[in-house]
Amino acid sequence: MLELLEITGIATLQDSGRRGFNKFGVPTSGAMDWYAYQAANSLLNNPANSAVIELGLGEITFHSLRNTVLAVTGAGYEVENYIWTFPLWTSFYVRAGWTVRVKKTSGGNWAYIAIAGGFDSPVIMNSRSAYLRGGIGSALKTGDVLQSFPPASDLLKLAARDHTPLIPYSQTPTIDVIPARQADWFMLEGIRTFYESEYTLSPSFDRMGYRLQGMPIQKAITQELISEGMTMGSIQIPTDGQPIVMMADAPTTGGYPKIASVSRASLPLLAQCEAGVSRIRFKETTVEEAQSTYSVIARRVLSPTKQSQD
Amino acid sequence: MLKPLGDSSILIQLGDAIDLALNARVHALSAFLQTSPAVIETVPAYCTVLVHYDPLTTTYSQIKNLIEEKISLLDDSTHRPSRRLEIPVLYGGASGPDLEPVATTLALSPSELIRLHSEREYTVYMMGFTPGFPYLGILNEKLTMPRMSTPRTRVPAGSVAIAGSQTGIYPVDSPGGWHILGHTPLKLFDPTSETPFLFAPGDIVKFIPAN
C-alpha cells in the first residue's frame, strides 16, 4: 500500500494495454515505453500484465504503509528512497513509513514504478490502464492510497536486483520504421526528406501522439484517404507535412496518409525522446527484421528474471 | 490487398470506396478473423480491416497466409445478421442548434430536413474518433454539408450530427466539427457497464423523431 504525498506532472496506472475494444473506438493505451514497463515487473517477478505507476513530465513522492519492494525503470529520472539515491532499473526494499521520491532529471520522459505483487485497482474493460480522455480510470492525485497484490516471493529475494536494458536509450536515436501502404502518396523527394533529415519532438507531445518538427514531407496526393485502422507507432503526415507518431492513447482510426510505422523495438526509444533536445533519425527496415529484433528484446523482459539469491 | 502496418498489425484492403456491400464484406471478414486464436483483435473500417497479432507467436508470413485462407473461405453464409436499433432524437432548439442554419443553407424547411435525416436506415460503417462513436451512412445526397470551418470545443454527449455523406452521434462530451441537428437521451458509452457500447460495427440504425 502506497500513500501518494505529492505529484507534479501526469501519473496514471498502466498495464500492457486494453485489447479487444479498438473496433469500438477505444485506444489500446498501456505503457508508453513497453520495455521499461515489462522490465519493472520482471525485476519483481510480477505477472507480465501487472499494473504499474507511469510517471510523466514531473515528480511523485509517496510513502509505503507496509514493508515492500519497488522497482523503478524508464529514462530521465532517479529515485530517493529514505536517505539513499538509486538509479533506475533497480529494485529496492522500502520499509513502512519511508518516503520515496521519483525525481525528474534529464534524458527521458517516462518512469515506471512497480510494486512487488503489482497494483490492485478496478479492471475496466479487461485492463487497469487509465485512458483519461475516454473517462476510463483517473489521474493519480495527492492523498490516493494504492493497494497491491501479495508479492510473488519473499521480499528480500526481490530487493537489490538490477536490469541492464537492451534498449539503447539515446538523445540521438535511430528509429527503425517499416514503410506503410500509402508510401506512394508521397513525392520521392518527401520520402528522401523523411529518411535523410533530422526531427525533434514538439513540446506539446502527450500520450496520444508525438508531433515531430523538421523538414516538411511533400505529398504527391493531397486528398484525405478513407479512414482506416491505425496503431501505436503509425506515422501520419498531415497537411503541413510534419510527421505525427501515434502513441499509446492514439485514436483507433485515422484519415491522414501514413508514411511508415515505428518498429516495436524502437518505440521505447522514441517514447523517451526529449522535446526540443533529442535529434531523431528514421531508418527503413523490413517487417521480418523488425519482428526478429523485437523477439530478442521482448524475451528478455517477458520471461521471469532468475532469482538472484538462490 | 495485404500490407504490414508496423510489425504487429496487417491491413487488409477490400476496396477503395464508401459502399454498403463492400462494408458488409469488411464486417463479415472482421468477425470471421476474430475467431482465429492468432488474431488479437480486428478493426473494421469503411473498406479495410486492420488485424493486430502478436509477433512473438505469429510471424508476418504466417498471419498473411492465415488471412488469405480466411478470405478464400469467406462467402455469403459467413455474413452475420445485423442488429436493428431505433434511436429517439429530439431535433432542433437547444438540442439541435444547427438544424435551422443547415436547413437554410440546404434550402429546405426544418421539417423536411428532419424527414430526410430520419427516413433512412443507416449502417454503422465503422466506429472511431471517441469510444462508441458510430460513423453512420450514407446520408441522402441533399444533406451533404462540409464540416464546420471552426469546430466547437465542446459538443455534448448524445448530439446527433452530420458532415459530408455521414451522420453520427457523439458518445461523450468532446470537441467536434459536425453540424448538430438533434439530441438522443440514450447512453452510447458506459465504461463500467457489462455492455459498454450501444452500437457495434455493422448495426442498422433508424432515427425516430421525438417531435
Tell me the chain B residues in contact with residue A252 when contact means C-beta distances shorter than 8 Å.
43, 127-128
Of B8, B18, B128, the CB nearest to A253: B128
The answer to whether B54 contacts chain A (CB < 8 Å) is no
Average pLDDT, chain A: 94
- What tens digit of pLDDT does each residue of B135-145 get? 999 999 999 99
Does the CA dihedral A59-A65-A67-A69 come out positive or negative? Answer: negative
- What tens digit of pLDDT does each residue of B78-107 get? 566 789 999 999 999 999 999 999 999 999
Q: Is the pLDDT confidence value at A223 over 80?
A: no
Kindly list the domain boundaries of chain A, sorted by start residue. 2-165, 174-299
Q: Do B127 and A23 touch (CB under 8 A)?
A: yes
What dotted CATH number matches B2-78? 3.30.1360.40
Q: Which of helix, strand or coil describes residue B151?
A: coil
The answer to whether B20 contacts chain A (CB < 8 Å) is no
Q: How many angstroms away from the CA of B75 is the closest CA of chain A? A: 22
Q: What is the pLDDT of residue B46?
A: 96
Q: Do A26 and B172 touch (CB under 8 A)?
A: no
The answer to whether B2 contacts chain A (CB < 8 Å) is no
What dotted CATH number matches A2-165? 2.60.120
Element (H, E) at B40: strand B39-44
Q: What is the pLDDT of residue A195?
A: 97
- What tens digit of pLDDT does each residue of B7-58 get? 999 999 999 999 999 999 999 999 999 999 999 999 999 999 999 999 999 9
Which residue on chain A is closest to B43 by alpha carbon? A23
Nearest to B49 by CA among A253, A274, A224: A253
Confidence category of residue A95, pLDDT binned at 50, 70, 90: very high
Confidence category of residue B77, pLDDT binned at 50, 70, 90: low
Confidence category of residue B171, pLDDT binned at 50, 70, 90: very high
Q: What is the pLDDT of residue A305?
A: 46
Q: What is the pLDDT of residue A26?
A: 97
Task: Assign domain A174-299 to its CATH superfamily.
Answer: Cyclophilin-like (2.40.100.10)
Q: What is the mean pLDDT of residues A27-55?
A: 97
Tell me which residues of chain A have a C-beta less than 8 Å from any C-beta of chain B: 19-26, 124-125, 133-136, 178, 180-181, 226-231, 233-234, 251-253, 258, 261-264, 287-288, 290-291, 294-295, 298-299, 302
More confident residue, A306 or B176: B176
Q: Do A227 and B42 touch (CB under 8 A)?
A: no
| Percent of chain A scoring above 70 in pLDDT | 97
Q: Is the pLDDT confidence value at B76 over 70?
A: no
Q: Do A229 and B9 touch (CB under 8 A)?
A: yes
**B11-14 contacts at long range (C-beta below 8 A, 24 or more positions apart):** B11/A181, B11/A228, B11/A229, B11/B48, B11/B49, B11/B50, B11/B51, B12/B48, B12/B49, B12/B50, B12/B51, B12/B67, B12/B71, B13/A181, B13/A228, B13/B47, B13/B48, B14/B47, B14/B48, B14/B49
Query: Following DSSP, what letter does each residue of chain A receive, concatenated?
Result: -EEEEEE-SEEEEE-S---S-GGGT------SSHHHHHHHHHHTT--TT-BEEEEESS-EEEEESS-EEEEEEESSEEEEETTEEE-SSEEEEE-TT-EEEEEE-SS-SEEEEEETT-EE---BTTB---BGGGTBS----TT-EEEEPPPSS-HHHHSS-B---SS---SS-EEEEEE-GGGGGB-HHHHHHHHHS-BEE-TT--SSEEEEESSPPPBS--SPPPPEE--TTEEE--TT---EEE-TT--SEE-S-EEEEE-GGGHHHHHTPPBTT--BEEEE--HHHHHHHHHHHHHHHHSPPPPTT-
- What tens digit of pLDDT does each residue of A123-148 get? 999 999 999 989 999 999 999 999 99
Q: What is the pLDDT of residue B80?
A: 65
Q: What is the pLDDT of residue A103?
A: 96
Query: How far is Cα A85 from Cα A103, in angstroms, rounded to an integer?
Result: 10
Tell me the chain A residues in contact with residue B35 when contact means C-beta distances shorter than 8 Å.
none
Backbone angles phi, psi at B140, to 5 degrees: -55, 135
Q: Is the pLDDT confidence value at A306 over 60?
A: no
Tell me the chain B residues in contact with residue A234 when contact means C-beta distances shorter than 8 Å.
5-6
Kindly list the domain boundaries of chain B, sorted by start residue. 2-78, 84-209
Confidence category of residue A310, pLDDT binned at 50, 70, 90: very low
Q: Do B60 and A251 touch (CB under 8 A)?
A: no
Query: How far is Cα A146 from Cα A60, in angstroms, rounded to an integer?
Result: 13
Q: Is the pLDDT confidence value at A27 over 60?
A: yes
What dotted CATH number matches B84-209? 2.40.100.10
Tell me the chain B residues in contact with residue A251 when contact means C-beta distances shorter than 8 Å.
128-129
The answer to whether B44 contacts chain A (CB < 8 Å) is yes
Are β-strands B204-209 and B84-91 bridged in parallel, bridged antiparallel, or unpaired? parallel
Residue to test with chain A: of B2, B7, B170, most A Cβ within 10 A: B7
Q: Do B50 and A229 touch (CB under 8 A)?
A: yes
Tell me the chain B residues in contact with residue A294 when contact means C-beta distances shorter than 8 Å.
7, 55-56
Q: What is the pLDDT of residue A309?
A: 35
Tell me the chain A residues in contact with residue B5 when contact means C-beta distances shorter than 8 Å.
180-181, 229-231, 234, 258, 261
Q: What is the mean pLDDT of residues A23-34?
A: 98
Q: Do A231 and B5 touch (CB under 8 A)?
A: yes
Q: Do A231 and B6 touch (CB under 8 A)?
A: yes
